[in-house]
């Protein structure tokens, strides 16, 4: 019985974007996102290649930003905006009031542009995999990323 209770507590903690998880995500994001445009473009490319591989009609959803060509300047600018928005959300994970305002703004943008909430899990997976590939498996905390990205996308949908 004790084992079952402990297992439930561990599962609950793993599913929560806790203070420790937020700290992990912020640090790992800083390492992956970098401080220059080249590293950010490379990270964005990894994210969008994965999204396009896993979301039907992704090019159609992003037709307004040259979704037919993720190497176009227009789409790369879109990628920079998306990652910039994600950067602000991650930076605000430990500031609930700020995060709430940011997520409300992003929710309005996404619903107004017809981005389906059904695509969010693929985006979460793409970001998680891109960060892991960028910083290395041994430095990556998948549980923290999944929990915190789920919190972010849940606030947008």
- State residue 15's pLDDT score: 61
Q: Binding site membership for heme b: which residues?
A: 110
Element of type H or E holding 66:
none
- State residue 146's pLDDT score: 94
- State residue 116's pLDDT score: 78
- State residue 1's pLDDT score: 47
pLDDT tens-digit map of 81-121: 999 999 999 999 999 999 999 999 999 988 878 777 888 89
- State residue 14's pLDDT score: 42
- State residue 3's pLDDT score: 36
> Is the distance from CB of 118 to CB of 58 less than 8 angstroms?
no
Q: Which residue ranges in the chain fall short of pLDDT 70?
A: 1-15
pTM confidence score: 0.85
Q: Binding site membership: which residues?
A: 110
> Is the distance from CB of 107 to CB of 9 less than 8 angstroms?
no
Q: Write the CB contacts of 147 (distance below 8 Å, at least 6 apart in sequence).
A: 14, 15, 16, 17, 18, 21
The structural architecture, per CATH, of the domain 21-156 is Orthogonal Bundle (1.10)
Quickly count: other Cβ atoms within 10 Å of residue 73's Cβ: 9
């Amino acid at each position: 019985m004790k084992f079952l209770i402990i297992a439930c507590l561990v599962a609950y903690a793993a599913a929560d974007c806790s203070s420790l998880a937020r700290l992990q995500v912020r640090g790992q994001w800083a390492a992956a996102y970098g401080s220059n445009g080249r590293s950010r473009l490379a990270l964005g490319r990894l994210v969008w290649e994965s999204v396009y591989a896993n979301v039907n009609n992704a090019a159609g959803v992003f037709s307004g930003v040259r979704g037919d060509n993720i190497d176009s300047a227009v789409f790369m600018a879109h990628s920079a905006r998306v990652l910039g928005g994600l950067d602000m959300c991650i930076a605000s994970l430990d500031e609930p009031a700020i995060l709430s305002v940011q997520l409300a703004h992003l929710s309005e943008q996404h619903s107004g542009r017809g981005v389906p909430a059904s695509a969010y899990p693929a985006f979460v997976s793409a970001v998680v995999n891109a960060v892991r590939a960028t910083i290395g498996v041994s430095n990556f905390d998948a549980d923290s990323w999944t929990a915190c990205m789920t919190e972010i996308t849940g606030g947008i949908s």
